[in-house]
Amino acid sequence: MDYVGHVIRPPSEAYSMIIQVTVGCSHNQCTFCGTYKGESFRLKDMATIKRDIDEASSYDYPFTKAFLADGDVLILPQETLLEIIGYIRKKNRRIERIGVYGNTKAILKKTPAELAELKGAGLGIVYQGIESGNREVLRRIHKGAFPHRMLEAAEKVMGAGILLSQTVLLGIGGTEMSEAHATDTGSLLGKMSPDYASALTVMLLPNTPLYRDHRSGVFKLPDKFGLLSELRTILRNMDVYRRCFFTSNHASNYLPIRATLPQEKKLVLEMLDHIIESGDERILKPEYMRAL
């Protein structure tokens, strides 16, 4: 397989056929992300992509899902996406769902008809990292989109019948904006009511502007229980109007949670109340087990 650099994928795609279609990220300005620093965003040549699909399809493994890496494949032209998706389905008839990362800009560039066409071709899920629902936090981290546009993008994806998975970041507002970040993030997720939502914890990576702000004292990360308080606030304000499967089981998190909302919201909030009030760090994941 012709994997270049750091190839990332969502945790739920762990057993998928991973095909690296692009290298890097089309935005690549987020202050917290060090994955693609120094990489120019580019599409790999189609011959290489098809060779990787051929190789992956030859493996003695019953793939039912495929994921197109890297950071923002959805930004590609429609005909390119359709050619790649069509080739995967041709070479591996067992593939039932194809997933991609899609930032807000990429989603909004697609027309409803184009998204519906991609859905018909086999695109089954889009992973959209919104990070925060607070406008000022989004401005500070150079996310490149504000809440109203993120909501518009989410509605376009779900309107096309494509599953939507949202990711938010605990701690990204720092101690200064912790409460506002959590409150607004929960509210935005409630308005979106995606099929899936997950909370990760921001990790301070040495090659990022956020790390430098942390070292200089400009940015202060909430402590363990401050991060759990953010998680509780997000869930408290997350009034979904349709079923949403919520997780915080990423390796970066101190407390793994898997819950179906709104049905299990009350139970999860009661559990978080108990853990936060106890102040017992032994309940939480030890530091050495946390990683990206």
133-169 tens-digit pLDDT: 999 999 999 999 999 999 999 999 999 999 999 999 9
Q: Do you find a cis peptide bond into 70, omega within 30 degrees of 0?
A: yes
* 263-270 mean pLDDT: 97
pTM over 0.75: yes
Residue 292 reports pLDDT greater than 80: no
Token pair listed for 197: 């939502």
Is residue 267 left, alpha or beta, with left meaning phi > 0 and alpha meaning psi from -120 to 50? Answer: alpha
Going from N- to C-terminal start, the domains of the chain cover 11-280
pLDDT at 15 exceeding the cut of 90? yes
Res. 175 pLDDT band, cuts 50 70 90:
very high
**What is the SS3 assignment for 232?**
helix
Q: Nearest 5°: phi and psi at 175?
A: -65, -30
Going by CATH, does the domain composed of 11-280 fall within 3.20.20.70? yes
Mean pLDDT of the chain: 94
What's the average model confidence in pLDDT over 276-282?
92
Q: What is the pLDDT of residue 55?
A: 96
> What kind and span of H or E run contains 247?
strand 244-247
